[in-house]
Amino acid sequence: MSTHRLTAPAPGWTATTDVVVVGSGVAGLTVALNVRKAGLRAMVVTKAMLDDGSTRWAQGGIAAALGEGDTPEQHLDDTLVAGAGLCDEEAVRTLVTEGPGAVRRLIAVGAAFDRGADGEILLTREGGHHRRRIAHAGGDATGAEISRALVDAVRSDPEIELIEHALVLDLLTDAEGRAAGLTLHVMGEGQRDGVGAVRARAVVLATGGMGQVFSATTNPAVSTGDGVALALRAGAAVTDLEFVQFHPTVLWLGPEAEGQQPLVSEAVRGEGAHLVDADGVRFMLGQHELAELAPRDIVAKAITRRMQEQGAEHMYLDGRHFGAEMWERRFPTILATCRTHGIDPVTEPIPIAPAAHYASGGIRTDGHGRTSVPGLYACGEVACTGVHGANRLASNSLLEGLVFAERIAADLTGRHLAGELPERTVDVAAARAAHPVPLPPSEARAEIQRLMSRGAGVLRSAASMAGTAAGLALLAEQAYAHVAEEKPADPRVETWEAANLLLVATALVAAAAQREETRGCHWREDHPERDDAHWRRHLITTLAATGGPVSTPEEQ
Ligand SMILES: Cc1cc2nc3c(=O)[nH]c(=O)nc-3n(C[C@H](O)[C@H](O)[C@H](O)COP(=O)(O)OP(=O)(O)OC[C@H]3O[C@@H](n4cnc5c(N)ncnc54)[C@H](O)[C@@H]3O)c2cc1C
């Protein structure tokens, strides 16, 4: 049963479905399409337009053992190495063995991958992969093609109800504490306007990442960690929040740039572009056997170190040797984006710096996407299935969204056929009785982002994170003080998002401060070594009765 909820007006309208899916990226849309096959009604609720998530921005591609000589076992090995001792091997095995079939089913839905003259799917390499196993579409527009195909498919099924511009607020449960629906705010006109409730037999969270918790990120504006915040308030366990992957090569747009920044895909390095420093020196040589194609954390750290050594704000990615024809054919999106910002990769090296990219942690799930709250599922980037461990292997995330979405749909279908998915009665009174979380003003978003980038970014230490934690605590205190002074912030999209960002940021810093070691994408300057004796285990975060997040190390 939720003990906390966002401050919001009481629901003014109610809708009913069988399965309500929150989010319309690769994960959410795949769940919706697959539960429909069992005759269950599905409703997809999404914050902005259907294609406004990270999925459509994915460039490099989707990893699966599809090539000659490649096997799921080799994909498993590379994934486990990247995960730095914290992957759930069973979950990874599921990912890599079910992955090739899931990609073929995605093709059957309508996604067109790039193919060679022989008709075979073209495969490229990315960091941490010892083989060419990344399928791509439109050169570097893989996510856009996947999103297009899935959006077309859901739009052509009249039994999938789509609600756009709808911000989901909190979970509703029945008297036994089972997920029974959710509250949401629809920015529309007509019957479903303002705060309402959706009743459902099961709830699937597919709300994507939380990159907006940092100042510079590759994630779109909708990636504010809403699903993780909602799950925490609903009493669910989240895990591995400290493992935020910083993409090494994000186009550097100046010291003041904030929000979503353009990515220069790893595939550019996969095709042979070099990282060079301010003096033109290839600094990745000798640092790792894979040089520029080392796992992302290694590359991001090396870039950050070199930036510090040289007092530089960025490094360079040099792909001039590709020539114009290859840039135009293989990386048309990146080429166009760079040129829009006045940089021509054909004739000059691209200025790059690391930025927050991917949340390896999230809502803890089992192999069927079930969370610790009965009837609540999580899928895609918002979930922590255990496949990424301490660091995600490049291009495993679209695959994870696909594979575990299919598994959630299969679980729901099985339970439905077994009569284990009855209609639920929503306990609205209990939901209203939950403690309302005061909302920070909308300007808090930028302050949270600054605090996080300053103290909990690529480089972390106890001191840097103490400053960030104190700043976040002050923002929370101010929100409570404004309520006490009867000057609370208005409940609206910006303040609800700010409240979610604040909770997620606080939970992330608490976990990162507790993990006194360096592992995967979590880099502690004051604890530079990996410490398996104490830390080869997960931190499980839940919400305390007071409303603050508490992280507990899992039993070893
Ligand atoms: C620039 C970029 C490049 C990438 N490249 C690759 C790549 O090459 N290969 C790869 O495997 N991965 C890549 N990734 C990661 C990958 O794209 C994401 O992890 C994946 O697409 C996440 O899919 P998802 O369905 O979980 O979430 P998303 O696609 O992010 O969708 C989340 C959805 O939830 C909605 N939502 C969020 N909060 C709410 C709320 N409160 N109420 C209602 N709706 C809500 C959003 O509007 C959105 O529709 C990349 C990511 C980025 C940003």
Task: Tell me what percent of the chain is helix, strand and coil, each rounded to the nearest 5.
Answer: 35, 20, 45
Task: Using the mean position of ligand 1's atoms as its centre, give its distance from the Cα of residue 55 in Å.
Answer: 4
Task: Using the mean position of ligand 1's atoms as its centre, give its distance from the Cα of residue 219 in Å.
Answer: 8
Task: Using the mean position of ligand 1's atoms as its centre, give its distance from the Cα of residue 427 in Å.
Answer: 31
Res 2: pLDDT: 63
Residue 216's CB is within 10 A of a number of other CB atoms, namely 22
Contacts of 533 (CB under 8 A, 6+ apart): none
Rounded-to-integer distance, Cα 293 and Cα 304, Å:
16
Whether residue 406 has its Cβ less than 6 Å from ligand 1: no
Whether residue 17 has its Cβ less than 6 Å from ligand 1: no
Task: Using the mean position of ligand 1's atoms as its centre, give its distance from the Cα of residue 209 in Å.
Answer: 6
Whether residue 48 has its Cβ less than 6 Å from ligand 1: yes
Q: Which of 148, 222, 228, 521 maximizes ligand 1 atoms within 8 Å of its Cβ, making it the mutation to test the pocket?
A: 222
Whether residue 358 has its Cβ less than 6 Å from ligand 1: yes
* Enzyme catalytic residues: 296
Whether residue 449 has its Cβ less than 6 Å from ligand 1: no
Whether residue 46 has its Cβ less than 6 Å from ligand 1: yes
Rounded-to-integer distance, Cα 531 and Cα 522, Å:
12
Token pair listed for 300: 């991001």
Q: What are phi and psi of 259, to 5 degrees?
A: 80, -155
Q: What is the DSSP secondary structure assignment for residue 322, as one 8-state letter?
A: G
Q: Which of 337, 352, 382, 397 maximizes ligand 1 atoms within 8 Å of its Cβ, making it the mutation to test the pocket?
A: 397
Indicate the SS3 state at residue 382: helix
Whether residue 61 has its Cβ less than 6 Å from ligand 1: yes
Task: Using the mean position of ligand 1's atoms as its centre, give its distance from the Cα of residue 57 in Å.
Answer: 8
Q: How many residues does the chain have?
A: 556
Kind and range of the H or E element at 333?
A: helix 332-340
Token pair listed for 241: 């929040």
Whether residue 99 has its Cβ less than 6 Å from ligand 1: no
Rounded-to-integer distance, Cα 195 and Cα 168, Å:
9
For residue 460, the Cα-to-chain-centroid distance in whole angstroms is 21
Task: Using the mean position of ligand 1's atoms as its centre, give its distance from the Cα of residue 391 in Å.
Answer: 17
Whether residue 28 has its Cβ less than 6 Å from ligand 1: yes
For ligand 1, what atom is nearest to the CA of residue 27?
Answer: 25
Q: Which of 31, 34, 54 maximizes ligand 1 atoms within 8 Å of its Cβ, making it the mutation to test the pocket?
A: 54
Task: Using the mean position of ligand 1's atoms as its centre, give its distance from the Cα of residue 255 in Å.
Answer: 26
Task: Using the mean position of ligand 1's atoms as its centre, give its distance from the Cα of residue 325 in Å.
Answer: 31
| Nearest residue by C-alpha to atom 13 in ligand 1 | 58
Indicate the SS3 state at residue 428: helix
Burial of 342 (0-12, 13-18, 19+ CB in 10 A): exposed
Digit-by-digit pLDDT tens for the chain (556 residues) are: 568 999 999 999 999 999 999 999 999 999 999 999 989 999 999 999 999 999 999 988 999 999 999 999 999 999 999 999 999 999 999 999 999 999 999 999 999 999 999 999 999 988 789 999 999 999 889 999 999 999 999 999 999 999 999 999 999 999 999 999 999 999 876 667 899 999 999 999 999 999 999 998 999 999 999 999 999 999 999 999 999 999 999 999 988 888 899 999 888 998 999 999 999 999 999 889 889 988 788 899 899 889 989 999 899 999 999 999 999 999 999 999 999 999 999 999 999 999 999 999 999 999 999 999 999 999 999 999 999 999 999 899 999 999 999 999 999 999 999 999 999 998 777 788 889 999 999 999 999 999 998 899 988 999 999 999 999 999 999 999 998 998 889 999 999 999 999 999 999 999 999 999 999 999 999 999 999 999 999 999 999 998 899 999 998 7
Which residue, 219, 228, 177, 179, is CA-closest to 1?
177
DSSP 436-491: EEPPPPTTHHHHHHHHHHHHBSSSB-HHHHHHHHHHHHHHHHHHHHHHHTT-PPP-
Res 154: pLDDT: 98
Res 59: pLDDT: 87
For ligand 1, what atom is nearest to the CA of residue 209?
Answer: 30
Judge contact between 133 and 75, C-beta under 8 A. yes
Whether residue 26 has its Cβ less than 6 Å from ligand 1: yes
Alpha helices in 121-225 (DSSP H): 142-155
Rounded-to-integer distance, Cα 193 and Cα 195, Å:
7
Res 213: pLDDT: 97
Token pair listed for 377: 């599922």
For ligand 1, what atom is nearest to the CA of residue 63?
Answer: 11
Whether residue 124 has its Cβ less than 6 Å from ligand 1: no
